[in-house]
Amino acid sequence: MPPPQYQDPLAELNTKQVAPRVFDDVRLGLLYSGNVQKSQEFIGKYREAMNMGVFSNTGAMEDLDLDYAPDNLQKILSRSFGEVVKVDSLDQARILGLDVVMVFDMQVSLGSMSGEQSSVDLKGSFVDWERRVLVEIEGNGLGTVPYPAKSVGFREAAGKALQALNNELGASRKLAVTLEDITAPVAAVAPLPASVAVKGERHALVIGNSAYRNAPLKNPANDAKDVGNALRRLGFNVILVKNARLRDMEQAVDRFYSSLQKGGVGLFYYAGHGMQVGGRNYLIPVDATIKSESDVRYECLDAGRILGKMEDAGNALNIVILDACRNNPFARSFRSAQRGLARMDAPTGSIVAYSTAPGSVAADGSGRNGVYTKHLLQFLMQPGLDISDVFFYTRKGVVQETGGGQVPWESSSLVDRFYFLEAPSDYE
């Protein structure tokens, strides 16, 4: 009797509608162990042996897909996590500001004769920055070499192992609790040490507005969350506000001002719609109702007010980052056609960074983050970079990605050096 026509165990998983991501707020780094490469090399040698006629089941070449398990793992993880980034090391994951790393391990045994079984053993180890294992999930699968031997049962075994891994991913209460702790509003991990020329506490106000009624944006709320998480790791006390109304923004500024009076370093970050009217910059709340230019000063937050509050506090260093130069959604209602934001000069001891040059427009981005913030996050966590270097490398990355279409810009009057993250003791 001929064997049944086996179906891909992951076919249904890959095609059916799925529920929202279980860990939507978690940015995951995916790191392959050395065993993954060994397994792929082993499969490759098996394919070569079949191609040379060493084994009789030469019709099984398609079954031995080197990338079958890693590619389907990426699909599974992408359905559960807000973002999955393949990394080469824990250090790279930390620099990119990812929340946690999963070390993926794969070990394979292949049958060659009808009736023998192939096995695939998968393991995902979630680790912290100290290389300590937080949670492990596993998936194991067996596949039988049929008669006649038209496969070696590898896809059957790998599909079962991936399915088991996927089930454990969604069912692990310990994993859910661990990842919830990692992404809690108050940093669950100890802040990384930071040595600065400017002494004192670090305070930040981070605002990201996406949910506009008439012109929604994809990335600013994500940008604010990710910047806020990065700043917490860098020792900042962070006030995070997403999709804020005008009153929410005003109250957050007042709280921020109170914290700044303790001295030290103040940082304001904003992502969302912004515009200039009469040479002044305004940050647009999600509830703004703007029918003409005169409405702007009453419906929006004047960016100059924030800079003024920071200057009034008299703290040692102030940093303003404005990723707020998307196209003006209310342009048709305006008499003038001013694009982007107007230049604001930084008071002594301050730096104002724009995602693009004054009067220009920035891209919202096609991934989780806007183009500017994506590069800012990468270099914000880079040890040993002076603040000027952070913005320099951010600008270089944005210019390269946009082909020169977007050029970030800063106005600086800094008189002291500042490092978000100190270099390791052996860093030169």
What does the DSSP assignment read for 109-125? E---STT-EEEEEEEEE
How far from each other are the two terminal CA atoms of the chain, in whole angstroms? 71
Q: Helix, strand, or coil here: 86? A: strand
The helix (run of H) or strand (run of E) holding residue 134 is strand 133-144
- The pair of three-digit structure tokens given for residue 178, joined into one six-digit string: 């661990």
What local confidence, expressed as pLDDT, does residue 47 receive? 79
Measured torsion, CA atoms of residues 343, 379, 229, 73, in degrees rounded to the nearest 10: 130
Compute φ and ψ for 406, nearest 5 degrees.
-135, 125
Mean pLDDT across 38-66: 73
What local confidence, expressed as pLDDT, does residue 320 receive? 93
Q: Is the pLDDT of residue 55 over 90?
A: no
Q: Is the pLDDT of residue 206 over 70?
A: yes
- Using 50, 70 and 90 to split pLDDT, how confident is the model at 16? very low
Mean pLDDT across 270-281: 86
Per-chain mean pLDDT for the chain = 80
Looking at per-residue pLDDT, the higher value among 165 and 341 belongs to 165
pLDDT tens readout for residues 212-237? 887 888 889 999 999 999 999 999 99
What local confidence, expressed as pLDDT, does residue 424 receive? 57
Domains of the chain: 17-182 (3.30.160), 202-412 (3.40.50.1460)
What local confidence, expressed as pLDDT, does residue 11 receive? 59
Q: Is the pLDDT of residue 88 over 90?
A: no
Residue 381's nearest CA partner among 370, 369, 366, 394 is 394
Mean pLDDT across 186-193: 41
Distance CA 211, CA 261 (A): 32
- Using 50, 70 and 90 to split pLDDT, how confident is the model at 40? confident
Residue 379's nearest CA partner among 210, 208, 234, 205 is 234
- Using 50, 70 and 90 to split pLDDT, how confident is the model at 268? very high
Looking at per-residue pLDDT, the higher value among 232 and 179 belongs to 232
What local confidence, expressed as pLDDT, does residue 62 receive? 73
- Using 50, 70 and 90 to split pLDDT, how confident is the model at 426? very low
Listing DSSP states for 256-288 in one string gives HHHHHTT-SEEEEEEES-EEEETTEEEEPPTT-
Are the beta carbons of 112 and 55 closer than 8 angstroms?
yes
Distance CA 107, CA 118 (A): 11
- Using 50, 70 and 90 to split pLDDT, how confident is the model at 5? low
What local confidence, expressed as pLDDT, does residue 406 receive? 85
What local confidence, expressed as pLDDT, does residue 32 receive? 93
What local confidence, expressed as pLDDT, does residue 366 receive? 64
Are the beta carbons of 153 and 64 closer than 8 angstroms?
no
- Using 50, 70 and 90 to split pLDDT, how confident is the model at 64? confident
Residue 264's contacts (CB-CB under 8 Å, 6 or more residues apart) are: 198, 199, 200, 201, 202, 203, 315, 316, 317
The helix (run of H) or strand (run of E) holding residue 410 is strand 409-412
Distance CA 219, CA 70 (A): 28
Looking at per-residue pLDDT, the higher value among 272 and 175 belongs to 272
Least confident span in 28-37, 91-100, 264-273, 417-426: 417-426
Measured torsion, CA atoms of residues 254, 260, 266, 267, in degrees rounded to the nearest 10: -20
Q: Is the pLDDT of residue 203 over 70?
A: yes
What local confidence, expressed as pLDDT, does residue 162 receive? 92
- The pair of three-digit structure tokens given for residue 197, joined into one six-digit string: 């020329």
Listing DSSP states for 218-245 in one string gives SSHHHHHHHHHHHHHHTT-EEEEEES--
The top-scoring range by mean pLDDT among 22-36, 194-208, 282-296, 388-402 is 388-402
Mean pLDDT across 326-330: 59
Sheet strand arrangement including 274-277: 274-277, 280-283, 301-302
Mean pLDDT across 293-310: 87
Are the beta carbons of 328 and 273 closer than 8 angstroms?
yes
pTM over 0.75: no
Measured torsion, CA atoms of residues 288, 290, 294, 297, in degrees rounded to the nearest 10: 10
- Using 50, 70 and 90 to split pLDDT, how confident is the model at 331? low
